[in-house]
Amino acid sequence: MISFLRGSLVFVEENRITLDVHGIGYEVLVPSGLIQRLPPAGQEVEVHTHLYVRDECLQLYGFLSPEDRALFRLLLSTPGIGPRVALTILDTLPAEELFSIISQGNLEGLLRVPGVGKKSAQRLIFELKEKLPGHLARKELEETPFSTAVFNEVSQALAALGYNRQEAEEILKKTKKRKPAVASASELLRYALRELGKGKE
């Protein structure tokens, strides 16, 4: 398994890049949003990768953060959703909006994604909604400086990325103590994921 690549950016196309890693050129398919954030050719780039294997096809997909890669993998876990559609979803919907759409069962929100039809949207909601946890205990919500909506949104996002409810509760309690100034869901999610990453080092 190739977890990440760090090398010199050689070539950029519409949806793929080529990295020179110690003299070996790796072709990596990436979200279009990542293309817009790349440095000029010749500079060093690090991407977190997922190796997609199907029949005799091996293809690397790359992302700027482990969180984006985790969300890509979550989408791939849905029957009928391939890497091309998963990338399109990532390019169309920010993570927080996607989690909100799934948790609310908002079919119309998913139909905004090019290539996602009614059946695919229903399948995404059915499959992924089951992976979102229930609300955290009211006691935890009352003790936290974050709003109830923010706290619930982040706990759902962590569960959708593969963390269980206990892990979510523990890291959010720790985050509350260390980062009381955090207000938005996106800031809290980024901080919580950093803390979770440290725990696995």
Give me 180's structure tokens: 């009381």
Q: Which domains does the chain have, with CATH numbers?
A: 4-63 (2.40.50.140), 67-129 (1.10.150.20), 138-199 (1.10.8)
Answer yes or no: is pLDDT of 139 > 60. no
How large a percentage of the chain has pLDDT more than 90?
37
Task: Determine whether 143 is exposed, middle or buried from the number of CB atoms within 10 Å of its CB (0-12, 13-18, 19+).
Answer: exposed
Partner residues linked to 6 by β-bridges: 46
Instruction: Give Cα 38 distance to the centre of its chain.
Output: 18
The model's pLDDT over 5-64, given as tens digits with 9 standing for 90+, comes to 999 999 998 889 999 999 999 999 999 888 988 999 999 999 999 999 887 788 999 998
* pTM of structure: 0.64
